[in-house]
């Protein structure tokens, strides 16, 4: 049973279609978990049913927030190998559950997760199922600028939809 914070009598909760927010970046320490927590807090305070997923196998930063429901998901194993069954189950949940998902994949899972999304055409599958998908990509300045721009480039070059949210 998924963890959600639902307000059934709130009209804003029922007026928003199920949505998937993916916070993705290949560079660690750029604020993915902070962005996920802010987004979750924003949605919950507006009465949306929210399920947070922490898919970072190394640093479970999002999972440390006690204020909202966070599920830990093994998207890759300790050596970075894709756990295909976990990805398939996650997409099934995205399609089948009437909730807003906020997913922090973590830096370690970024490349396998994005490769899976592209190869399985996950965004089209979700769109065809009536789900909205937003991809939030943090960009950091200073020493991390080049690395975060490479993460953005990886996503921007392989996506056809206009659903990128750049966070700077």
Tokens found for residue 119: 């190869």
What's the whole-number average pLDDT of the chain? Answer: 85
DSSP symbol at 23: E
Tokens found for residue 17: 């279609």
The pTM for the full model equals 0.85
Give me the pLDDT at residue 11, please. 43
Residue 15 pLDDT > 50, yes or no?
Answer: yes
| Domains of the chain from N-terminus onward | 16-167 (3.40.50.300)
Give me the pLDDT at residue 80, please. 67
**168 DSSP β-pair partners:** none
Alpha carbons 99 and 63: distance in angstroms, whole number: 18
- pLDDT tens digits for range 112-167: 889 999 999 999 999 999 999 999 999 998 999 999 999 999 999 998 777 889 98
Give me the pLDDT at residue 60, please. 77
């Amino acid at each position: 049973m998924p963890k959600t914070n639902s307000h059934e009598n709130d009209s804003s909760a029922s007026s928003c279609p199920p949505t998937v927010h993916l916070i993705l970046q290949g560079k660690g320490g750029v604020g993915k978990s902070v962005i996920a927590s802010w987004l979750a807090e924003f949605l919950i305070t507006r009465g949306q049913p929210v399920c947070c997923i922490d898919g970072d196998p190394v640093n479970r930063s999002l999972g440390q927030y006690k204020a909202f429901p966070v599920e830990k998901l093994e998207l890759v194993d300790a050596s970075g190998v894709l756990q295909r069954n976990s990805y398939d189950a996650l997409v099934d949940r995205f399609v089948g559950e009437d909730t807003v998902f906020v997913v922090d994949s973590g830096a370690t899972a970024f490349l396998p997760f994005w490769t899976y999304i592209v190869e399985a055409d996950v965004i089209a599958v979700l769109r065809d199922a009536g789900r909205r998908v937003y991809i939030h990509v943090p960009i950091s300045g200073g020493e991390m600028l080049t690395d975060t721009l490479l993460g953005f480039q990886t996503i921007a070059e392989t996506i056809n939809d206009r659903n990128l949210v750049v966070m700077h």
